[in-house]
Structure 1
Amino acid sequence: MGKLIDTVAWVHIVDGRVLGARSRGEELFYIPGGKRHDGESDAQTLLREIEEELTVRLVPETVAHFRTYEAAIHRPGADAVVRMACYTAAFTGSLAPSSEIEELAWLSYAERDRTPPVDQLAFDDLRAAGLLR
């Protein structure tokens, strides 16, 4: 196994669709979140990343672990595995793309192929749980 890329993500579902974010210059959407800074907990990383990327504040006491996934990174030739710890949480504010995020979208299961492999695992579980249409 190559390098491990340790990330956290916020699974936010409305009307059977999950929120996706696309970074500038990228084609794929991903479940919003990012990599931890040294010494950060999952919750601290999640709150920081979501505020930076989506301009909303997650409510700390509502953060709940959903599942954790691992899959090969989606970049050809790269020898790395992405670990994505997924959480749900309530939020305050209005969702808007910020920082490196160029676009937000509400993704259905049919749009699963527009996301990287690790996100596709989450899409499968969300669909199996009846949360994603």
Structure 2
Amino acid sequence: MRTEPSQRLIDTVAWVLIEDGRILCARPRGKDVFYIPGGKREGGESDSQTLIREIDEELTVALIADTIAHVGTYEAETPGGAELVRMACYTADHTGTITASSEIAEIAWFTYADRDRVPPVDRVLFDDLVARGLLPG
């Protein structure tokens, strides 16, 4: 998928954590949609630096840098098509207990059946994870 001249690109990174056949999702304060945890880079941050910072800020755990592994990069238009979201997804081991920070209203463990509760780019990730046998369908 290519960005049309009128589309704004939203470049993000996300942490894919799958346990017991479910994937971790988070709902930011003030939003009614769940997302794969992560966010946008600041300044000249690398994907890894962004991922480590965002996950610490959102879920109060420390990702172990040398365990970060790329799962895939996914793209989808936002509803209405004004923006294109690119989401580079990574797995990583962590230390600490996952806890919603002050910017996260709720965390949840989703199955593929919850696919319609996440944004379009997250749905593309869900589909790929199922196709690869990493998330039960």
How would you bin the TM-score normalised by the shorter chain? Answer: over 0.9
Q: Sequence identity of aligned pairs in percent?
A: 63
1:111-126 equivalent positions in 2, closer than 5 A: 111-126=114-129
> CA-to-partner distance for each residue in 1:26-54, whole Å, 9 max, x for gaps?
12111000000010000000000000000
Give every structure 1 segment of 4 or more consecutive aligned residues whose post-TM-superposition deviation is greater than 2 Å. Answer: none
Post-superposition offset of 1:129: 1.6
Residue matched to 1:53: 58
* Contiguous gaps of at least 5 residues in structure 2: none
* Contiguous gaps of at least 5 residues in structure 1: none
CA RMSD, Structure 1 to Structure 2 (Å): 1.0
Measure, in 2, the Cα distance between the counterparts of 1:108 and 1:126. Answer: 11
Post-superposition offset of 1:125: 0.8
1:107 aligns with 2:113: no
Post-superposition offset of 1:130: 1.6
1:25-64 equivalent positions in 2, closer than 5 A: 25-64=30-69
Measure, in 2, the Cα distance between the counterparts of 1:99 and 1:68. Answer: 28
Aligned residues: 131
Q: Aligned with 2:70: secondary structure?
A: strand
1:18 aligns with 2:23: yes
